[in-house]
Amino acid sequence: MKKYKNQSVMIVRIKLKSKTQTFTMMFGNSYKKWEEQFREYCLRWKPIEVIEVETSSEKWIGWGGLKWCNENEFQHELNREGCQQNDPDNPKPRQYANMKFNSNKTISNIATQIAQRLS
């Protein structure tokens, strides 16, 4: 398990199960910490179970106030990072495929507790 010196710079990838599907959502520290964003997400969408949690030392998308994002849309959000609505995509976006994620038991426990309390 990798320890992060600055956990304020972090992306959290959470694989969730609902009544009908399994999917992966991305959360990160922006104007609110990832825990607050995940709590709000759980209150709204009521996932049944946290299956897997991984973290990356990459910074969250610092543009547009993004709270959370489905993993399938994450590269699109990176492509738009730093762009105004009518601008073309960022010509040199960060690449989701190049981001390294690791298991993080502490963050996993926090996410599981939040989901269990709010589901």
User: Is 51 within a domain?
Assistant: yes
Query: What's the pLDDT score for residue 4?
Result: 44
User: Is 2 within a domain?
Assistant: no
Range of the domain at 37: 11-118
Q: How confident is the model at residue 98 (pLDDT cuts 50, 70, 90)?
A: very high
User: Is 70 within a domain?
Assistant: yes
15-29 confidence digits (pLDDT tens): 999 999 999 999 999
Query: What's the pLDDT score for residue 48?
Result: 87
User: Is 23 within a domain?
Assistant: yes
Alpha carbon distance 11, 67 (integer Å): 11
Contacting residues for 21 by C-beta, under 8 A, at least 6 apart: none
37-82 confidence digits (pLDDT tens): 999 999 999 988 999 999 999 999 977 789 999 999 999 999 999 9
Alpha carbon distance 34, 22 (integer Å): 20
Q: How many domains does the chain have?
A: 1
Alpha carbon distance 46, 33 (integer Å): 19
**Both tokens assigned to 71:** 């993993």
User: Is 3 within a domain?
Assistant: no
The average pLDDT across 96-105 equals 98
Q: What are phi and psi of 42, to 5 degrees?
A: -65, -40
User: Is 39 within a domain?
Assistant: yes
